[in-house]
């Protein structure tokens, strides 16, 4: 529980530290911790999509900020079922699973 709170805090700090910078400057980790985001286009159309983690969602929002905004919504809307472990997508990294 403490580790997951710490990891969430790290992601939030990463998002805060990259706000206002160029979108290409946002660097996200390879940790697979899916989140559900809802994109709202300027014409009111809404699109729900899964993202690899919060950072990737924020990076995509930065890229597309002129045409839409993306907000995190309940994981159930995307069919995401959280588990206690998080996977790193690059298994060349030693210790590809985190607890």
DSSP conformation class of 48: E
Rounded Cα gap, residues 43 and 17, in angstroms: 30
Residues composing the chain: 99
Query: What's the token pair of residue 37?
Result: 């985001």
- The band of 98, judged by pLDDT with boundaries at 50, 70 and 90, is very low
Rounded Cα gap, residues 18 and 24, in angstroms: 10
Question: In sequence order, which ranges of 64-97 are alpha helices (DSSP H)?
Answer: none
90 vs 81, which has greater pLDDT?
81
N- to C-terminal Cα distance for the chain?
Answer: 10
Mean pLDDT of the chain: 76
45 vs 90, which has greater pLDDT?
45
């Amino acid at each position: 529980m403490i580790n997951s709170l710490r990891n969430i805090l790290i992601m939030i700090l990463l998002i805060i530290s990259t706000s206002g910078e160029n979108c290409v400057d946002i660097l996200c980790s390879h940790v697979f911790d899916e989140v559900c985001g809802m994109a709202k286009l300027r014409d009111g159309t809404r699109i729900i999509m899964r993202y690899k983690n919060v950072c990737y969602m924020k990076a995509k929002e930065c890229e597309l900020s002129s045409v839409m905004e993306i907000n995190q919504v309940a994981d159930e809307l995307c069919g995401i079922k959280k588990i206690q472990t998080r996977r790193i997508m690059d298994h060349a990294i030693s210790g590809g699973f985190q607890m």
